[in-house]
Amino acid sequence: MDTQTVVILDFGSQYTQLIARRVREQNVFSVVLPCTVPVNEIEAYKPIGLILSGGPSSVYDADAPAADPRLLEIDAPILGICYGLQFIVHHLGGKVRSATKREYGHAEVTVEDAATPLFAGLPANLAVWMSHGDEALELPAGFRRIAVTSNALAGIANEQRRIWAVQFHPEVHHTPLGPQLLRNFLFSICEARGDWTPAHFIQSTVEAIREKVGTGHVICGLSGGVDSSVAAMLVHRAIGSQLTCIFVNNGVLRKNEFQNVQKNLRDKLGLNIVAVNASAQFLEHLAGVTDPEIKRKRIGQEFITVFEEEANRIAQETGGVDWLVQGTLYPDVIESSSVKGPSQTIKSHHNVGGLPERMKLKLIEPLRDLFKDEVRRIGRDLGMPEDILGRQPFPGPGLAVRILGEVTPERVALLQEADDIVVSEIKAAGLYSKIWQSFAVLLPVMSVGVMGDQRTYAYTAAIRAVHSEDGMTADWTPLPYELMKRISNRIVNEVRGINRVVYDITSKPPGTIEWE
């Protein structure tokens, strides 16, 4: 099944991913590539259209992104946005006047050529989000102006060359008719079919996995989270019993998580799962450790040890393992190949790093092209329960990074109880799916309280609830007072060992979501 692709070239705009989303929302597949990729890499996608993003530079900057102007010769329609427009004008022989200052804001655009397909069905005046920076003074030969604002050029076209460009941002919320403009580009100009649906994705992915794997054997590390579960289900759909999933209890899972995941994925969905209870071993390695990074590293190392042992056993039973499934998502891929390069590591994330090389495993990453909400849509189409698909993100090192100070079996049990109360109350209030993450943190701070006539001296739990788009930034969420009251009452009454509850009102930045 062929997939039509729109390639988006990233010139460093904060909105590039948003363009990708807007295109995908129209059931058209899109990929973002750094603008500096060799032209033949763009051509390898056989794109049905090319979108050049905005960007912070001026075409005259010494460090302007070194994109190859030959990309403008590619045999596909092109839409330039903001910097994309300057790039087109500059490299096709026009003149751009460099401005010393950039201005962003609402603007009103007057469409001068309603007949150009880009503006089909749009009114003569459009409210847009504009970034005024450099200005195109002279257009390249064959181009004409198709839209203006009261003081600047807003759009150009060269229909013969199939190039259109706008100075404003159709992809942002502040351009209300932006989606229509993008639809015009996709469907009228690029002749997109708009058939990139979950069913299409599942079918083409399943076919590709079958072809790739042949008769080989595949393993997958399950965490119980959305990504690894959906990735495993896709591979399962493709090759059935040639897939073995490994699910490790690292001792810092949520209450009943080890049983629930098995119930949901093995009993209900038929995944072939080897469940390994390695709690004691993990907790031994965490004994005496208080430094957050050392905790993360120990859990990561131990995970690899356990996983490798199981994988070797499976290899013996099946005559060899060739492939490893990973739930890598599209934002991870973009992050590591962006114009700006991977961002600095604030916390080391726990995954099976190092394992594929050591065990000589080849990778299957069926979700590499998807954003999180698209993964959920695929999961729904695969018949997976909301229990798994709607789950809030949970970190690999689990409750260990929510227990400040030493992780002991007793503290894990305390936090499991408190966390269970937070989650169940937030679910009961109908807020679970509206919040990015909500959880309890166990602080090694003891304070005095009174229960009945008894003095208590016990730990403190902090409650954290945040809104976020992607985990990169987050705002703390004001939970309703009644809900906070219920959570606090229940924790103090039901969890022996916690006698005080506080609420975390820190956003990210400057805080992080997890406390460690």
Say which of 159, 171, 257, 516 is annotated catalytic: 171
Q: Is 507 in the site for ligand XMP (CB under 6 A)?
A: no
Of 279, 290, 424, 512, which lies in the binding site for ligand XMP, with binding defined by CB under 6 A?
512
Is residue 146 a contact point for ligand XMP (CB under 6 A)?
Answer: no
393 forms part of the interface with ligand XMP (CB under 6 A): yes
Q: Which amino acid is at 474?
A: A
> How many Cα atoms sit within 13 Å of 334 on the Cβ side?
21
Q: Does 514 bind ligand XMP (CB under 6 A)?
A: yes
8 Å CB contact between 140 and 150: no
Taking contact as CB under 6 A, which single stretch among the options 260-268, 333-341, 403-411, 507-515 is the one that binds ligand XMP?
507-515
Q: Using the structure block, give the residue that is written with the tokens 């065990």.
A: 359
**Of the candidate residues 95, 102, 144, 349, the single one contacting ligand XMP (CB under 6 A):** 349
Whole-angstrom distance, CA of residue 194 vs CA of residue 23: 10
Q: Which one of 49, 321, 395, 407 is in contact with ligand XMP (CB under 6 A)?
A: 395
Applying CB under 6 A, does 350 fall inside the site for ligand XMP?
Answer: yes
| CB nearer to ligand XMP: pick between 285 and 500 | 285
Query: Under a CB-based contact definition with an 8 Å cutoff, are residues 22 and 30 in contact?
Result: no
Q: Is 169 considered catalytic here?
A: yes
Instruction: Please indicate whether residue 82 is annotated as part of the active site.
Output: yes
Per CB under 6 A, the list member of 34, 155, 251, 397 interacting with ligand XMP is 397
Provide φ and ψ at 306, rounded to 5°.
Answer: -65, -45
Q: Taking CB under 6 A as the criterion, which residues in 459-498 touch ligand XMP? A: 471
Question: How many CB atoms sit inside 10 A of residue 481's CB?
Answer: 8
| CB closer to ligand XMP out of 66 and 346 | 346
Going by C-alpha positions, the residue among 505, 512, 417, 507 that lies closest to residue 459 is 417
Residue 401 and residue 262: Cα distance in Å, rounded? 24
Which residue, 312 or 343, has its beta carbon nearer to ligand XMP?
A: 343
- Which residue among the candidates 90, 132, 159, 169 is catalytic per the annotation? 169
Q: How far apart are CA 347 and CA 464, in angstroms?
A: 19
- Contact pattern for ligand XMP over residues 434 through 463, marking x by CB under 6 A: ---x--------------------------
DSSP letter at 63?
A: T
Instruction: Pick left, alpha or beta for residue 431 (phi over 0 → left; psi -120 to 50 → alpha; otherwise beta).
Output: alpha
Q: State yes or no: residue 227 binds ligand XMP (CB under 6 A).
A: no
Nearer to ligand XMP, 160 or 344 (CB): 344
Tokens in use for 450?
Answer: 């009174």
Contact 513, 437 (CB under 8 A): yes
CB 318 within 8 A of CB 213: no
C-beta closer to ligand XMP: residue 161 or 508 = 508
Task: Report the 10 Å Cβ neighbour count for 260.
Answer: 15
Active site residue 220: no
Please tell me whether residue 442 adopts helix, strand or coil conformation: strand
Q: Smallest distance from the beta carbon of 88 to ligand XMP, in angstroms?
A: 38
Residue 347 lies near ligand XMP (rule: CB under 6 A): yes
Binding flag, residue 396, ligand XMP (CB under 6 A): yes
Q: CB-wise, 346 or 450, nearer to ligand XMP? A: 346
Scanning 77-197, the segments in alpha helix (DSSP H) are 83-91, 178-183
Q: Is 170 in the site for ligand XMP (CB under 6 A)?
A: no
Using CB under 6 A as the criterion, which residues of the chain lie in contact with ligand XMP when the complex forms?
Answer: 346-347, 349-350, 393, 395-397, 437, 471, 508, 512-514
Q: Which residues are catalytic?
A: 82, 169, 171
